[in-house]
Structures are given as C-alpha cells and as structure tokens.
Amino acid sequence: MRAYGTISELSRSLRLRKAYRVSDPALGLDAAKLKLVIVSDAAPPQVNGVVRTLGELKRNLELMGHEVISITPDRFPTIPMPSYPEIRLALFPARRLARLIEEANPNAIHIATEGPLGLAARNYCVKRGLPFSTSFHTRFGEYLYARTGFPLSWSYAFLRWFHAKATSVMVATPSLQAELEARGFGKPVIWSRGVDTELFRPRPKLAGEHYLDLPRPVYLYVGRVAVEKNIEAFLDLDLPGSKMVVGDGPRLDVLRKHHPEVHFAGTLFGEELAKAYAAADCFVFPSKTDTFGLVLIEALASGTPVAAYPVQGPLDVIGDAPVGVLDKDLAAACRKALGIAPADCRAFAMNFSWEACTRQFLSNLALAEVADTAALMDEAQKAVCD
C-alpha cells in the first residue's frame, strides 16, 4: 500500500511529492486511517445546510476511524458579517490558521468555503505547493448580488480564481457540475448529500390534529430567513390551512410584521425539527438559488411531499420522481403535492446515505504519496550536510 504523506513530510521533501485522488484503487483507502483538516467559515451556531453537511461528514469520518480537525471561526477573533450578524467572520486569520494546520500535520486539507478562513487556507496551501480540495456549497455571487447589487461577473471571476488551484472542486449535483464547468471551473467532481433517516422519519401519531393546533393542511418552510431564499413567494400564496416557518435570519422581523397569519417557530433542532417536518402536510421550497437543498431530503425522509420551482436543486434531488411537484406556479405545486403518498416520499429518501456521501467525499480528496518517513529524514539530512 502506498504511504500517505503528512504536511510536515511534504514540506521536507517537495521533490518526492505527488498528488493522488483517493479513488485510485491502489491506495487501499479502507486500510488507511487519515488525519484530515477541514476549513470552514460556516460553523455552529449558524444553522444552514453547509453546517449540517459538514457536521454529518465529521461524524461519519470519525465513525470510519479517521481523525478530523475542524478550523472554524470560533478559534479566531471575529466580527459580524455586514447585513447578516448571525454569521461571524474571522479577522486576520492567516498566521493562526497556518499554525493550526502545522500542528495538526494532516494527510489532506479540504477547504469548504470561500470566506476569510477559506481564503487564508487556500493561500497557505498554494504558497507551500500543498495539494488541497475545495467544495462549492453556496451561490456566493447570486447572494451577494441579491443583497448589494455586486456584479455577478466579478463574483465568478473571484470564485474561479479561488478554486483554480484545487486538486478537485466538489459539487452536490450534476447540473451544478455542468454549470461550473461551463463557467470555467475545470471539471468539478460530485459529492452528494445524505439524510439521517433515523431522526427524520414519518411519525403517524402526528397525522391527526397538528401538535401546535395549526389548521390543516400545514405548509412548512425550513431554512434561513433571508432575501435570497425567496420566502415571500411562499408566504404570499393564497392557500387554505396554515403556513409555518422554521429558521432565523435577517428578514425574520420584517416577515413577521408583514405576515402575522404565519407561524414563525424560530430555529429548531433535533427531535423538535424532525417533529415539525413529520407533522406538515407539504414542504415548500421557494428558493431558486440553492445548489442542493438538504432540507428537501429531510422532509421526504419524514414522509412529507415537496412543492418547489423547477430549478437547480429540486430538479437534481427530485426530478420527475413522484414524491414532489415542481411547477412555475408554486401554489399549484403546493395543492398537487397534498395528494402524494407519504410512504413514497420515505422510500425515495432511503436512497440517500451519509455513509455513501462520506465515502464519496474521501474519494475526491487530494492526498499525497511520499516515500517512507525514514527515507524523507535521510533526504533532509543529506540536504543539510550538503
């Protein structure tokens, strides 16, 4: 089996370094216990799909015997993000981040976001000639444009530059893969998503009167309450029954004032979140900018059908499967979705596994093949003597 190099070994002998994708069958992945650094500007207490995905990834990697070192904003001085104070941005993280990576001495570095920490990690790796992988979780350009009017072309120029040096750029869906390839991001690789089917499951006892006494049918939204999520398109619909919103964000106070008829539950976790999914009659996904939509499969695993626009994310996750309705008329999609059998939704969601997602992530990592440590030390000693 080839030897996996650590950062310090690579730094001592760059001449011997060669980057490999783990999918090379000769690497004997299952026999290797890896130490991985994952750098992310998105981390708890933020509540979003990126944070949940990275949390499940870490949990499953550790169940497989790998060691994960997370480098996140809580390890740095931070300031609140303008217009979105729930998100904290690390201040001048380069030196401390370099020290954390060197102390971890990992076999691989994955950069999950393009914020201050991601940028510092990218620059650290490029400067030292170290292989790294990245992932494209969020439509950063579209979100920035929605909030500030910042030109999309400028944002994508930055994003192309950011990801250009990565050994692999991971994306959640084939349509996003094709889009980024067309935008000049090279050849991104697929890293799909999973769902906790034990937590998110049908709960027949909740099928009668709603546990919050909301009139049925109950239409549910779960996610950030932010302008880019297009929540008003859902809240403005003329539908019978009730609407429920789970989540927090910069638009929450405004929407509460404009829609007093809507039940805003705030942020829910664990059993309370799972209960909200299972008690709903329809899950409504109004976003037109999400790259995947983890909440879609959480709802389906709970036996709740989906109503959404026919856009990237829902098209990739649901497509023409009879577990949701994708329609440019969102109200029509909501009404039609009420006729979908919960058992069909559950069966569809069982195809999404966090274990398979984690193995896919591992297959996309940039590891390094090096000579054994003794050989590296001999090489370093000869260099010193010469």
Q: How far apart are CA 38 and CA 118, in angstroms?
A: 10
Q: pTM for the full model?
A: 0.78
CB 293 within 8 A of CB 49: yes
Say if residue 27's pLDDT is above 60.
no
Buried b (16+ CB within 10 A) or exposed e, 38-52: bbbbbbeebbbbbbb
CB 141 within 8 A of CB 156: yes
* pLDDT, tens digit (0-9, with 9 covering 90-100), for 122-154: 999 999 999 999 999 887 767 776 677 788 889
Say if residue 11's pLDDT is above 70.
no
Give mean pLDDT, residues 7-22.
47
pLDDT score of 48: 84
Strand 366-369 with 18-21, pairing: antiparallel
Does 19 or 365 have the greater pLDDT score? 365
Q: How far apart are CA 159 and CA 161, in angstroms?
A: 5
The tokens describing 92, both together, are 């001048």
* pLDDT, tens digit (0-9, with 9 covering 90-100), for 189-238: 999 999 999 999 999 999 899 999 999 999 999 999 999 899 999 999 99
CB 301 within 8 A of CB 312: no
The tokens describing 17, both together, are 């370094």
Q: How far apart are CA 110 and CA 38, in angstroms?
A: 5
* pLDDT, tens digit (0-9, with 9 covering 90-100), for 316-344: 999 999 999 999 999 999 999 999 999 99
Say if residue 13's pLDDT is above 60.
no
pLDDT score of 113: 95
The tokens describing 126, both together, are 């490029």
Mean pLDDT for all residues in the chain: 88
The tokens describing 46, both together, are 């933020």
CB < 8 Å & 24+ apart, contacts of 240-245:
241/214, 241/215, 241/216, 241/217, 241/281, 242/210, 242/214, 242/215, 242/216, 242/217, 242/218, 243/218, 243/219, 243/284, 244/212, 244/214, 244/218, 244/219, 244/220, 244/276, 244/280, 245/220, 245/221
* pLDDT, tens digit (0-9, with 9 covering 90-100), for 107-118: 999 999 999 999
* pLDDT, tens digit (0-9, with 9 covering 90-100), for 252-288: 999 999 999 999 999 999 999 999 999 999 999 999 9
pLDDT score of 290: 86
Q: How far apart are CA 241 and CA 255, in angstroms?
A: 19
pLDDT score of 367: 80
In this structure, of 18-22, 94-98, 136-140, the range with the lowest mean pLDDT score is: 18-22
